[in-house]
Structure 1
Amino acid sequence: MRFLLALSIYVALASCNKLPMWRGEVNVTAMERKSIKACGTGAPTDAGTKAISRHPYLQSTTVSTTIVAWGSTEGRGTVVLREPGDPKVLATSPAVYAGDPTRGKARLAAQSGKEIEADDIYVMKAEFTKLEPGHLYCYQLLDGDVALTELAPLTTAAPPGAPNAMRFVALGDTGSGDPAQIAIMKRLAAEQFDLMLFLGDIAYESGTARQLETRFFAIYRDFTRYVPVYPAIGNHERRTRKGRPYFEAFVLPEPERYYSFDWGDVHFVAIDTTERNAQQLAWLDDDLGKNKLPWVIVYGHHPMYTNSLRGPQLWIRKAFAKILTRHKVDLVLTGHEHQYERFKVGDVNYIVSGGGGGQLTSFYGRSKALKQATVHHYLAFEVSAEQLVMKAIDISGNEIEALKLTKEGGGPVKSKVNDKPDDKSTPVAPEKTTTPDEKLHDEPDDDTEHDKVKDAPKVDAPPAKVDAPPKKPGG
């Protein structure tokens, strides 16, 4: 009886915790992208509209490699690289199937001769190696001699110590399909960035293939054609066969559920907070121990600190926080709670950024965050070897706050908030004033659209042959 009473109270509070849906309009002047001007928009040709079921998107880009992925109705295609303004082909990569090898033939047959549905998408990938670091190329999809797209730009990752600061954006809990998500997407058109991080819950409610298409790829395709996207899995993506459609859609660095990559002077680490995994913790400890870059940003879905009704995920904090502190991680970005919060525990800055489009939620209990705001928003970063600047921008284009971290000559990190020195730390752990539910991270597999399937055995496909571009003189 007590349990039922407590449950009813929690449900009532959770219902009251949700705020009205955002309704409004956003008019933004898109910033001109020099790379698009140099190459093109990558729009599908007439032939491409029939052969492409998901627009091309960039994946797993490094200083010397990149992957172009797309949805194909024919199960074939080739990608070529050119220098801007030069018709000569530098490199050619035939595409291979990137999805579940046990379902590929059936999926391709299912979409033959009828209107394409998101559940039938046959994901192809073409990989390029031996590229120049920080270099702009123009890529194009072909089927034989037939162009499926116009030329589009791709830029390899900048090397450490590059003269220009690298820029990226981060968004959490975007996948509602509501006006707020569209408005935030439009705001991004005014930003310059090299890559995109997504902090989970990109496809409500259950992360099905259809929801991934309509609430992620179709919405962000004018960005993901030009810059690589690096997501972290959320609990809503996990709901469908433990994230199978999610992992079929994205071509991420190994081991995929969690992974790391470098760009410029930043070492990025994506973690999986949707399941308890001792192997991941050992991997994380080893990965951070090997890092040599000046900045480390770890990102995932569930927050270790928050003032939300649901409270922090204590098991996640217990599992990860000691490792993050020991390796002096600079920033930890998470979502899950649909609001903005900033904490500093020890020397680690924790940002909760779940305002990318989902219905906002209010705070609960006394405020212990150094900053909090209930508003849709995104994060914009600019990072050089000695300085990291993060700006939280709300749906109206206003700056919620700006955090600046500076490292000079190997000395301690200096912090500024809104250009004023600020070394404040979170005084009291938020969990002392909230009641966390430790089961919320592990929600059931509630997909009702598909039969449940067991994990397919991994099949190693032979690597595609790639013609590398010739080295430049002196390169």
Structure 2
Amino acid sequence: MMNKLKSNLIFLIVTVLLFASCGVVKSDLVVNNQIEVELLREPYLQNSFADSISVLWKTNVGKTSMVKYGKTKELSNTSLGTIEKDSNSVRHTVTLKGLERGEKYFYAIYSDDELLAFGDDYYFRVEPLDKKSKFSFYAMGDIGEPVEKGGFPQITSFQINSLKEKPNFGIGLGDIIYPKGESLFADEYLFKPMESILKNIPFYPALGNHDWGVAPDLNFEKEWKLPNNEHYYSFDYGNSHFIALDTRNGELFDVENQVKWFENNLIQAQGKYDWIFVYFHHNGKTCTYKKDEKAVISLYPLFAKYNVDVVLNGHAHTYERLHPYDSGGNVIEKYRANTETYPEISNGFIQITTGAGGKLQKNWLPQPEECGKNIVAAVAHTGHFSLITIEGKKLQLQVISSIGGMLLDSFTMNKN
């Protein structure tokens, strides 16, 4: 009998050690006949407009979603949310409303009454009520390249997180998740490397050609909570208007409806904002290794006619700022001389490629002098992000390297 007990005990110990050596994850643990809730994706922020914001995260199991929040870490407010289950995870969305404009809030997330995340880095800032208040945002494209293939989204994320003043939000210029935009790789290639900034800086991506690799209605739209139809949408922040477009594979998605919507959106924005930004994935004219995209160039007349100030794109894994263009894509000569300071650009716009947030084109160097009519104002071939600061009618752009935080390019535009 004693030998049998010893044998059973040895078997039990060996079994426990075997499972331990295999790396049993928390989601495999069962407490009181229930699978314990595990946080699979750190919270990330969406739709921080006016007095509301949405907090999203992902777990292995869970029936409820809750966020506690407050201007101090006592977290005196509570909001419940919704869940969406798929084959191997639960997606949580909680929208907080009635927030005090211009205030900083701390938050904590819960599922099934279990605290999943809370701390100094879990906070958000609400858009100020004063339209003249200073704010900033970062922009970068071509982000979610796997680290094992040379990608560096975690390095760019670290540099953004190291800024003395955190941006109020970020925009993504397409190719958000390689290789085909599949949700299967979203956490490993994007959300994990960028979690340090996604948890406290709202992020608004546009679709790129890689994000179109597998049906975006089953992938991209599942990962994000964006306005309109998520393919093309707009939002306001402070005294500025932002429009995201879907350039798909170089041809505009749902072209007739999207262009009509775009022009109507621009018409409605006239006279209401000091600044208008348009962003998407593909370049128009360029001196990079990418071809000129006719679909984007066809939008130039709308940019110029409806007072678009800055157009931002990715696609080329490098940085390129062009001289101000007119409606025909011609350099406006009077702005060529001074590339560091601009007045308000009448009937024209500045186009910027900022497409090396997580991937750099190898075995290639910019050669703008060989591009014909010298359309390039500045180039930088290294991992980077663009930081744009708005203070009333003054705009400042700074391009910052992912490694070292060096200033690669800058200019100001003053409409006063």
Fold shared by both chains (TM-score > 0.5): yes
1:148 to 116, 125, 136: 116
- More moved, 352-361 vs 59-68: 352-361
Deviations 1:224-282 (A, max 9, x none): 11111100111001111245311100011112101111111221111111134111111
Deviation at 1:49, TM superposition (A): 8.7
1:160 is displaced (CA, Å) by: 4.5
Deviation at 1:357, TM superposition (A): 2.0
Cα offset, 1:128, TM superposition: 1.9
1:63 is the counterpart of 2:50? yes
Distance 2:280 2:95 in 1: 26
Q: What is the number of residues matched between the two proteins?
A: 342
**Is 1:333–2:320 an aligned residue pair?**
no
8 Å Cα contact 1:75-1:124 kept in structure 2: no
Q: Tell me the amino acid that sits aligned with residue 326 of structure 1.
A: K
Residue 106 of structure 2 corresponds to which residue in structure 1?
138
Shift of 1:400: 1.6
Q: Which is further off, 226-235 or 150-159?
A: 150-159
Match of 1:303 in 2: 283
Q: Give the Cα–Cα distance (whole angstroms) in 2 for the partners of residues 403 and 159 of structure 1.
A: 27
- Determine the structure 2 residue equivalent to 1:182: 154
Determine if the alignment matches structure 1 residue 209 to structure 2 residue 183.
yes
Counterpart-to-counterpart distance in 2, 1:243 and 1:173: 20
Residues 375-403 of structure 1 show CA distances to partners (whole Å, capped at 9, x for unaligned) of 22110111111111000112332212111
Structure 2 Cα separation of the partners of residues 88 and 309 of structure 1: 51
Partners in 1 of 2:217 and 2:383 — Cα distance? 26
- The offset of 1:352, in angstroms, is 0.5
Which runs of structure 1 show a deviation greater than 6 angstroms over 4 or more consecutive aligned residues? 46-49
Query: Partners in 1 of 2:72 and 2:290 — Cα distance?
Result: 54
**Cα pair distance change 1:392/1:243, threshold 3 Å:** farther
Structure 1 counterpart of 2:91: 123
1:219–1:243 distance in 2 versus 1, CA, 3 Å: farther
Q: Does the aligned pair in 1 maintain the 2:180–2:212 contact within 8 Å?
A: yes
1:115-159: CA deviations, max 9, x gaps? xxxxxx432211122222222222221234432222521222223
Contact preservation (8 Å) 2:153, 2:194? no
Amino acid at match of 1:304: G
- Give me the whole-angstrom Cα distance separating, in 2, the residues matched to 1:215 and 1:146: 27
Which one-letter code corresponds to 1:203 in the other structure?
I
TM-score of the superposed pair, with normalisation by structure 2: 0.77
CA drift of 1:372 comes to: 1.8
One-letter amino acid of the counterpart of residue 169, structure 2: L
Q: Helix, strand or coil: the match of 1:312? A: coil
Counterparts of 2:400 and 2:36, CA distance in 1: 35
2:218 is paired with a residue whose SS is helix
Secondary structure at the counterpart of residue 61 of structure 1 = strand
In structure 1, C-alpha distance between the alignment counterparts of 2:366 and 2:54, rounded to whole Å:
41
Contact preservation (8 Å) 2:65, 2:93: no
Distance 2:75 2:214 in 1: 44
Are 2:378 and 1:399 aligned? no
Determine the structure 2 residue equivalent to 1:362. 365
Aligned equivalents of 1:49 and 1:135: distance in 2?
A: 35
Query: Given residue 355 of structure 2, which amino acid in structure 1 is its aligned partner?
Result: G
1:71-105 per-residue CA deviation (whole Å, 9 max, x = no partner) reads: 122242332343233636324223232xxxxxx4x
The CA RMSD over aligned residues, in Å, is: 2.2
SS of equivalent to 2:365: coil
**Counterparts of 1:10-21 in structure 2 under 5 Å?**
none
1:459 is aligned to none
Partner residue in 2 for 1:389: 396
Whether 2:169 is the aligned partner of 1:166: answer no
Match of 1:312 in 2: 292
Greater relative contact order: 1 or 2 (C-alpha under 8 angstroms, separation 6 or more)? 1
Distance in 2, Cα, partners of 1:170 & 1:215: 18
AA aligned opposite 1:155: R
Distance across 2 between alignment mates of 1:180 and 1:148: 27
SS at match of 2:357: coil
Establish whether residue 378 from structure 1 lines up as the match of residue 406 from structure 2.
no
| Counterpart-to-counterpart distance in 2, 1:288 and 1:60 | 20
Indicate the residue corresponding to 1:76 in structure 2.
63
**3-state SS in 2 of match to 1:281:** helix
- Tell which structure's C-alpha radius of gyration is larger: 2
User: Residues of 1 paired with 2:43 and 2:397: CA distance?
Assistant: 29
1:354 is displaced (CA, Å) by: 0.9
Contact 1:159 1:263 in 2 (8 A): no
Shift of 1:221: 0.7
Amino-acid identity (%)? 23
Code of the residue aligned with 2:264 in structure 1: it is: D
SS in 2 for 1:341: strand
CA distance in 1, matches of 2:242, 2:130: 13
* Unaligned stretches of 5+ residues in structure 1: 1-45, 98-103, 112-120, 409-475
Letter of the 2:365 partner, please give it.
S
Question: Secondary structure of 1:389's match?
Answer: strand
1:269 corresponds in structure 2 to 243
Q: Give the equivalent residue in structure 2 for 1:12.
A: none
CA contact (8 A) 2:73 2:106 kept: no
TM value normalised by structure 1: 0.68
- Cα distance, 1:223 vs structure 2: 0.7
Q: Tell me the equivalent position of 1:249.
A: 223
- In the alignment, which of 172, 192, 200 is matched to residue 174 of structure 2? 200
Asked whether the equivalents of residues 237 and 243 of structure 1 are also in contact (C-alpha less than 8 Å), the reply is no
Instruction: State the one-letter code of the partner of 1:354.
Output: G
Retained in 1: the 8 A contact 2:37–2:61?
no
| Counterpart AA for 1:197 | I
Task: Point out the structure with the larger strand share.
Answer: 2
Q: Is contact 2:239–2:273 with CA below 8 Å preserved after alignment?
A: yes
> How big is the shift at 1:288?
1.6
Q: Are 2:365 and 1:351 aligned?
A: no
